[in-house]
Amino acid sequence: MSIPDGATLAAGFDPTRVRGDFPLLARDIDGAPLVYLDSAATSQKPRAVIDAEAAFLTGTNAAVHRGAHTLAAEATELFEDARATVAAFVGAEPEQLVWTSGATAGINLVAYALGNASLGRGGPEARRLALAPDDEIVVTESEHHANLIPWQELAARTGAVLRTIPVRDDGTLDLEVAASVVGARTRVVAFPHVSNVLGIVNPVAELVGLARAVGALTLLDACQSAPHLPLDLPGLGVDLAVFSGHKMLGPYGIGALYGRAEVLDALPPFLTGGSMITTVTLERAEYLPPPQRFEAGTQPVSQAIALAAAARYLSNLDMAAVHAHESDLERRMLRGLREIPGIRLLGEAADAERVALWAFDVDGVHAHDVGQFLDARGVAVRVGHHCAQPLHRRFGMTASVRASAALYNTADEIDVFLDALSGVRPFFGAGA
């Protein structure tokens, strides 16, 4: 379905009204209204999220799962209700959702748990997850460092081999090569749902199919999809997935690991201590079942409650409506970027499904200079390698500029960004 410029598929979706829910968006930057286009790095928070965390801290604050007094019981109920809410947001059951400090922690949890299984920890089910020398871990060339370095480390600890699915010139994954990379020795296939540099939605079904055919685990980095797409993790067929709260309107310091029940049941623990045990003697310990097995120590209670508020906020707007609005912004951004001389877009795949994110190079001007120029006009974008150095190296670059929109951005803001960007090369003497 085609959409007229500035329209939205979502009847009744009003980004101007939505903006009123986000206090920070009312700021000026050096006298210019803020145009916030850095949501791929961290999203702004609606008042409902801010108020939910404050309400817990001022009215119910207590440790969970540890006390019999009224505050502890109330806090535990709110904490587990938050788990159920966030799990439902991604189509999962509460017991399939492990709280983490973010997606990076979730990926490290899995990588270290697999390493522990490879050392013989856990029961018979864990041993089936063990990696041996010359087994293979497959990632893509488009990974954020958080979904690359933990696997490098796991390979180093176990003797496994790290292999890579390459990215084509248009930014899409080369599935023909993927079919030859994923093979009989493959034990793990880890990949992003959406690249944080290219903005392209990757072919999850095809990658899951390749992994299943050889009995490999799949781990999905859903950081850039959870805030923007209707997300059904069980429906996608992945074994494990991670996402971060601060990228989906929630607070810092909270994220989640989703896992199929049989996979979480098989994984041995990574962090150990209080809250994740049943019986402890001076010689040994018995561990709780998931998700508590992976939640040692003090829980992120107020953060979980705030993340649940973010999930409710997004659900009340309807994620299909959010995606439709953001798709309109993405197309408007693309049209404008193509009209500005000297712009090289990354991942300009024809007809690819995308989120509202474009990374680009400005000919003759360093990315950091572009960012400073835009910031002086109130436009906040990201500059650098975006924790994806191998991907930038693939395109012959060390840094790029990234503009990423979200549900609270408007068509007028995209136009302000494009107008400011059109002045970059003339200002630095790089224009024709």
> Which pLDDT tens digit goes with each residue over 87-109?
999 999 999 999 999 999 999 99
Question: Hey, what CATH topology would domain 51-315 get?
Answer: Aspartate Aminotransferase; domain 2 (3.40.640)
E-only strand ranges, 285-367: 285-287, 343-345, 357-362
The SS3 call for residue 20 is coil
Burial class (CB in 10 A: 0-12, 13-18, 19+), 73: middle
DSSP 202: P
**Tokens matching residue 341:** 């001389």
Q: Point out the residues that are catalytic.
A: 387
Query: What per-residue confidence (pLDDT) applies to 12?
Result: 61
Work out the pLDDT band at 5, boundaries 50, 70, 90: very low
Given a cut of 50, is residue 277 above it in pLDDT?
yes
CA angle 28, 29, 31 (to 5 degrees): 70
List C-alpha distances in Å: 168 to 179, 207, 395.
Answer: 15, 16, 10
Average predicted confidence (pLDDT) for the chain: 95
Question: Which residue type is seen at 163?
Answer: R
> Which pLDDT tens digit goes with each residue over 379-410?
999 999 999 999 999 999 999 999 999 999 99
Burial of 24-56, coded b for 16+ CB within 10 Å and e otherwise, reads ebeeeeeeeebbbbbbbbebbbbeebbebbeeb
Work out the pLDDT band at 9, boundaries 50, 70, 90: very low
Query: What per-residue confidence (pLDDT) applies to 431?
Result: 67
User: Greater confidence, 234 or 7?
Assistant: 234
DSSP 289: P
> Which pLDDT tens digit goes with each residue over 55-75?
999 999 999 997 789 999 999
Please provide residue 273's backbone torsions phi and psi, each rounded to the nearest 5 degrees. 155, -145
> Which pLDDT tens digit goes with each residue over 291-346?
999 999 999 999 999 999 999 999 999 999 999 999 999 999 999 999 999 999 99
Given a cut of 50, is residue 2 above it in pLDDT?
no
Query: What per-residue confidence (pLDDT) applies to 202?
Result: 98
Instruction: Give the other-Cβ count within 10 Å of 234's Cβ.
Output: 14
Cα–Cα distance for residue pair 161/358, rounded to 1 Å: 32
Cα–Cα distance for residue pair 45/22, rounded to 1 Å: 6
Of the candidates 250, 235, 297, 285, which has an alpha carbon nearest to the alpha carbon of residue 109? 297
Query: What per-residue confidence (pLDDT) applies to 432?
Result: 57
Spell out the domain ranges in the chain. 15-45+318-427, 51-315
> Which pLDDT tens digit goes with each residue over 171-208?
999 999 999 999 999 999 999 999 999 999 999 999 99
CA torsion 205-208-214-219 (nearest 10°) is 170
Question: Can you tell me the mean pLDDT for 1-11?
Answer: 35
% of the chain residues with pLDDT over 70:
97
Cα–Cα distance for residue pair 162/333, rounded to 1 Å: 36
Question: Can you tell me the mean pLDDT for 127-137?
Answer: 96
Architecture in CATH of 15-45+318-427: Alpha-Beta Complex (3.90)
Please provide residue 6's backbone torsions phi and psi, each rounded to the nearest 5 degrees. 85, 0
Contact 319, 230 (CB under 8 A): yes
Given a cut of 70, is residue 8 above it in pLDDT?
no
Contact 187, 137 (CB under 8 A): yes
Query: What per-residue confidence (pLDDT) applies to 68?
Result: 87
- 3-state secondary structure string across 43-112: CCCCHHHHHHHHHHHHHCCCCCCCCCCHHHHHHHHHHHHHHHHHHHHCCCCHHHEEEECCHHHHHHHHHH
Query: Which residues pair with residue 138 across a beta bridge?
Result: 163, 189
Lowest mean pLDDT among 7-21, 114-128, 173-187, 276-290: 7-21
Burial class (CB in 10 A: 0-12, 13-18, 19+), 95: middle
Cα–Cα distance for residue pair 227/314, rounded to 1 Å: 8
> Which pLDDT tens digit goes with each residue over 335-358?
999 999 999 999 999 989 999 999
Cis-peptide, bond into residue 291, ω within 30° of zero: yes
Work out the pLDDT band at 7, boundaries 50, 70, 90: very low
Question: Can you tell me the mean pLDDT for 123-134?
Answer: 94
